[in-house]
């Protein structure tokens, strides 16, 4: 029984249905946010230390995210937060009325960093709608391409985005007492990374000059080169299509691919060693760091990397083939795994727009999913994107992001979710490289150029906070790598057997209505594309990205989104400031960046008529000339 808030129960066969006697099962109460504002005004009137701190734009988050917080500098606490997506993406609108075959190419442009995952989610969505089952080699190559995207994305976040927040140059400035301790603090994992003291690691996290920073940039090149070998180009590959891929697999291609991937063997160990040491050190300096970005561990992920023996593209069997993925789908609520079934994840999904610049839609054409189970009028298959630009108003509308919920809860999305859920579920297919224990994930990293083979183990942490998100992301590099090796080995076996077909041909039916959903994941987590095809054209196309989920505004019933909640829960531990003028807000930024935000993923147009100051115009991906 995974639903606690939606009035859904299950029969003996595990099929969901609405509870009897509930008159309006999907009704909800809209909370008045006036009271919040009145409370803040009252505090402000009594306390001169209250400050508004606007991160506008949060430059490192692509300029399309602004984050407003109200902080009490005297008591070092955060009083109020609002996360704003300041741009609108037009993809759902552009795709309406187009040939379904355009979807993979167009939706790929939703992000300039990770375009391949959108192509794949789109392909999966059409495969389900039209009953297209790719051949095994097509599935495996798609998996290998995904691995490359993750191997590109996660190190980039760890060392180029989040890393500078823990670098010597920054910590010296914001928390000199921690820098002082770092000089003599031994690094426990010097056998993995070669550093003797924490201060040495911090020096090499310095942006532009630090060895770890520069090495991460170089590793992104290696991952991209591996992608290009199989995918032709990156980002925005044109080889990922419904039914598989269009790659022409040559006899040497997989060997060349391996030569790229094996460069990550040592690097994966180094990622784990560096970030284990950094975060453990911060906890030792001040246990209050465990509260930075703290949230109950509530997250959803669809799992990725389909198993070629099980994936058949049908909704009917998606619970089975989903649980055979190389990362397990699931929902975790307050640290407890409540389901691993894709249908449950789909049935519990809703999207709300009460605090977003969109109109609520009135037409909900579908009462059920493809298995006859109930879905909400607010489910993406029922959603119509109706933009409604307007002024920013904290009590009403303030973001171009919508508010996705699962079982009427906000949740988190991230690379860490696939680590967390896969560890808890204990359902990974048998592999020499990766095993799930039910409370941890065991990763058997092979010998690299300089380091011996090693067994790494990520354990479910006692607390869930900004540092643990990043730590799990560091282990995700090794997890990705192990899944890559498993799939590479399987692809080699297929090639030896001559099973090299990579694509299943298909046609778009000219008549009839078809639905599909592509359950997938970006480097940053949860990604799904829902499509409705009518008489040969897309009549509806909806995309939910990880940043939509994490950066969402409040729910209609007043529950804050993940960024908002996590910042609200954070103590302000920055020590080296005298007044608001030299307050850096580093703890708040560490929280936001722990989610690996990427706002081009979410939105694409400036708010018209807003009183929000957008201090820099940027041309995000898929925009411009």
Partner 1 sequence: MASILVGIVGYDPFVRSFPLGPSFLERLRATSWGDENVEICEFNWSPVAIVQDLQSRSAPLKRVVLVSTTDRARKPYSVHVRRWVPAPIAPDALQERIFEAVTGVVHVDNLLAIGAHFGVWPPEVFSVEVEFPFVNVGDYILQALDRVGSNGAQISDAEPDERTGHLIEQALRMTRQAVLKGAEGLAGLLPLHARDLTPVARFCHSHSVDAGVG
Site for partner 1 in 181-220 (CB under 8 A): 207-209, 217, 220
Answer yes or no whether residue 44 interacts with partner 1 by CB under 8 A: yes
- Assigned token pair, 212: 């770890």
* Residue 87 or 434 with smaller CB distance to partner 1: 87
- Assigned token pair, 61: 């988050």
- Within residues 452-471, the interface with partner 1 by CB under 8 A covers none
Answer yes or no whether residue 288 interacts with partner 1 by CB under 8 A: no
Q: Which of 15, 32, 37, 575 binds partner 1 (CB under 8 A)?
A: 37
Listed ranges 13-21, 488-496, 525-533, 598-606: which one lies at the site for partner 1 (CB under 8 A) = 598-606
Residue 111 · residue 600 · CB < 8 Å: yes
Closest alpha carbon to 527 in 509, 539, 512, 545: 545
- Within residues 421-440, the interface with partner 1 by CB under 8 A covers none
* Residue 52 or 284 with smaller CB distance to partner 1: 52
The secondary structure of 21-58 as a DSSP string is T-SSTT--PPPPTHHHHHHHHHHHHH-TTEEEEEETT-
Give dist(CA 539, CA 319) in Å, integer. Answer: 26
Listed ranges 2-10, 92-100, 268-276, 502-510: which one lies at the site for partner 1 (CB under 8 A) = 92-100
Answer yes or no whether residue 75 interacts with partner 1 by CB under 8 A: no
* Residue 225 or 312 with smaller CB distance to partner 1: 225
- Within residues 130-189, the interface with partner 1 by CB under 8 A covers 156, 160-161, 164
Q: Which of 87, 158, 370, 573 binds partner 1 (CB under 8 A)?
A: 87
Site size for partner 1 (CB under 8 A): 86
Tracing tokens 């298909």 back to the chain, one arrives at 506
End-to-end CA distance of the chain: 51
Please report which helix (H) or strand (E) contains residue 472, including its range: helix 466-496
Answer yes or no whether residue 56 interacts with partner 1 by CB under 8 A: yes
Give dist(CA 232, CA 18) in Å, integer. Answer: 47
- Within residues 371-410, the interface with partner 1 by CB under 8 A covers 387, 389, 394-395
- Within residues 213-272, the interface with partner 1 by CB under 8 A covers 217, 220-221, 224, 234-236
Backbone angles phi, psi at 80, to 5 degrees: -155, 145
* Residue 106 or 460 with smaller CB distance to partner 1: 106
How long a stretch of residues is the chain? 625
Answer yes or no whether residue 365 interacts with partner 1 by CB under 8 A: no
Judged by DSSP in three states, 302 sits in: coil
* Beta carbon of residue 602, minimum distance to partner 1 (angstroms, whole number): 10
* Burial 413-442, CB ≥16 within 10 A → b, else e: bbbbbbbbbbbbbebbbebebbbbeeebbb
Give dist(CA 407, CA 379) in Å, integer. Answer: 11
Pairing of strands 77-85, 434-436: unpaired
Angle 148-150-152 from CA coordinates, rounded to 5°: 70
- Assigned token pair, 37: 């504002």
Listed ranges 105-113, 264-272, 298-306, 455-463: which one lies at the site for partner 1 (CB under 8 A) = 105-113
Give dist(CA 497, CA 308) in Å, integer. Answer: 15
* Residue 340 or 385 with smaller CB distance to partner 1: 385
Tracing tokens 């009590």 back to the chain, one arrives at 395
* Beta carbon of residue 79, minimum distance to partner 1 (angstroms, whole number): 9
* Burial class (CB within 10 angstroms; exposed 0-12, middle 13-18, buried 19+) of 236: buried
CB neighbours of residue 386 within 10 Å: 13
* Beta carbon of residue 368, minimum distance to partner 1 (angstroms, whole number): 25
Q: Which of 4, 32, 59, 248 binds partner 1 (CB under 8 A)?
A: 59
* Beta carbon of residue 464, minimum distance to partner 1 (angstroms, whole number): 24
Listed ranges 190-198, 248-256, 480-488, 597-605: which one lies at the site for partner 1 (CB under 8 A) = 597-605
Site string for partner 1, 529-568 (x = CB under 8 A): --------x-------------------------------
- Within residues 517-536, the interface with partner 1 by CB under 8 A covers none
Answer yes or no whether residue 483 interacts with partner 1 by CB under 8 A: no
Q: Which of 81, 109, 332, 550 binds partner 1 (CB under 8 A)?
A: 109
Answer yes or no whether residue 508 interacts with partner 1 by CB under 8 A: no
Give dist(CA 529, CA 369) in Å, integer. Answer: 15
* Residue 92 or 127 with smaller CB distance to partner 1: 92
Answer yes or no whether residue 309 interacts with partner 1 by CB under 8 A: no
Listed ranges 95-103, 125-133, 412-420, 479-487: which one lies at the site for partner 1 (CB under 8 A) = 95-103
- Cα 95 to chain centroid distance, Å, stands at 23
* Residue 229 or 424 with smaller CB distance to partner 1: 229
Pairing of strands 525-534, 244-245: unpaired
Q: Which of 2, 6, 61, 285 binds partner 1 (CB under 8 A)?
A: 61
Give dist(CA 6, CA 408) in Å, integer. Answer: 7
Residue 174 · residue 584 · CB < 8 Å: yes
* Beta carbon of residue 513, minimum distance to partner 1 (angstroms, whole number): 18
Q: Which of 17, 18, 26, 36 binds partner 1 (CB under 8 A)?
A: 36
| Beta-bridge partners for 403 | 352
Packing angle of the helix pair 136-155, 253-261 (nearest 10 deg)? 30
* Beta carbon of residue 610, minimum distance to partner 1 (angstroms, whole number): 13
Residue 269 CA: distances (Å) to CA of 191, 258, 278, 455, 482: 10, 18, 14, 10, 12
Q: Which of 264, 279, 467, 583 binds partner 1 (CB under 8 A)?
A: 583
Closest alpha carbon to 603 in 520, 555, 547: 547
* Beta carbon of residue 90, minimum distance to partner 1 (angstroms, whole number): 4
* Residue 327 or 356 with smaller CB distance to partner 1: 356
Answer yes or no whether residue 70 interacts with partner 1 by CB under 8 A: yes
* Beta carbon of residue 268, minimum distance to partner 1 (angstroms, whole number): 20
């Amino acid at each position: 029984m995974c639903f606690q808030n939606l009035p859904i129960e299950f029969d003996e066969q595990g099929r969901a249905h609405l509870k009897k006697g509930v008159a309006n099962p999907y009704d909800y109460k809209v909370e008045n946010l006036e009271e919040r504002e009145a409370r803040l005004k009252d505090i402000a009137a009594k306390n001169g230390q209250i400050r508004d701190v606007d991160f506008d734009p949060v430059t490192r988050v692509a300029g399309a995210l602004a984050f407003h917080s109200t902080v009490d500098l005297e008591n070092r606490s955060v009083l109020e937060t609002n996360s704003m997506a300041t741009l609108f993406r037009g993809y759902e609108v552009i795709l309406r009325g187009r040939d379904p075959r355009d979807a993979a190419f167009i939706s790929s442009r939703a992000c300039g960093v990770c375009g391949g995952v959108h192509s794949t989610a789109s392909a999966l969505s059409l495969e389900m709608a039209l009953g297209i089952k790719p051949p095994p080699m097509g599935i495996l190559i798609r998996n290998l391409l995904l691995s490359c995207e993750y191997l590109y994305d996660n190190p980039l976040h760890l060392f180029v985005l989040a890393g500078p927040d823990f670098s010597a140059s920054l910590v010296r400035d914001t928390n000199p007492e921690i820098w002082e301790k770092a000089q003599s603090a031994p690094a426990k994992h010097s056998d993995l990374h070669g550093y003797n003291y924490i201060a040495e690691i911090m020096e090499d996290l310095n942006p532009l000059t630090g060895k770890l920073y520069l090495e991460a940039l170089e590793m992104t090149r290696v991952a991209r080169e591996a992608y290009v070998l199989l995918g032709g180009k990156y980002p925005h590959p044109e080889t990922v299509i419904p039914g598989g891929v269009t790659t022409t697999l040559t006899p040497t291609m997989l060997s060349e691919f391996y030569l790229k991937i094996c460069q990550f063997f040592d690097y994966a160990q180094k990622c784990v060693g560096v970030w284990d040491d950094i975060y453990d050190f911060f906890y030792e300096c001040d246990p209050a760091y465990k509260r930075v970005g703290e949230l109950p561990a509530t997250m959803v992920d669809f799992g990725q990397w389909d198993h070629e023996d099980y994936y058949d593209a049908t909704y009917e069997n998606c619970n089975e083939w989903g649980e055979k993925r190389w990362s397990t789908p699931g929902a975790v609520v307050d640290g407890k795994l409540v389901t691993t079934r894709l249908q449950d994840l789909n049935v519990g999904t809703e999207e709300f727009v009460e605090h977003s610049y969109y109109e609520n839609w009135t037409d909900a054409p579908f009462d059920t999913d493809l298995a006859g189970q109930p879905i909400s009028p607010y489910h993406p298959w029922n959603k119509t994107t109706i933009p409604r630009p307007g002024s920013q108003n904290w009590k009403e509308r303030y973001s171009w992001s919508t508010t996705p919920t699962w079982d009427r809860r906000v949740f988190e999305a991230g690379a860490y979710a696939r680590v967390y859920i896969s560890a808890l579920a204990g359902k990974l297919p048998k592999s020499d490289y990766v095993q799930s224990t039910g409370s941890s994930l065991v990763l058997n990293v092979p010998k690299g150029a300089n380091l011996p083979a090693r067994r790494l183990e990520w354990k479910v942490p006692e607390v869930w906070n900004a540092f643990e998100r990043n730590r799990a992301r560091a282990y995700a590099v090794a997890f990705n790598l192990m899944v890559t090796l498993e799939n590479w080995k399987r692809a080699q076996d297929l090639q030896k057997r001559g099973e090299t077909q990579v694509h299943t041909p298909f046609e778009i039916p000219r008549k009839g209505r078809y639905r599909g959903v592509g359950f997938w994941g970006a480097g940053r987590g949860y990604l799904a594309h829902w499509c409705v095809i009518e008489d040969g054209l897309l009549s509806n196309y909806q995309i939910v990205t990880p940043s939509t989920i994490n950066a969402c505004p409040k729910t209609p019933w007043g529950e804050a989104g993940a960024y908002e909640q996590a910042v609200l829960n954070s103590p302000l531990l920055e020590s080296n400031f005298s007044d608001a003028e030299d307050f850096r807000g580093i703890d708040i930024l560490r929280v936001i960046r722990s989610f690996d935000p990427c706002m081009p993923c979410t939105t694409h147009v400036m708010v018209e008529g807003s009183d929000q100051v957008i201090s820099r115009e940027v041309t995000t991906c898929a925009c411009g000339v």
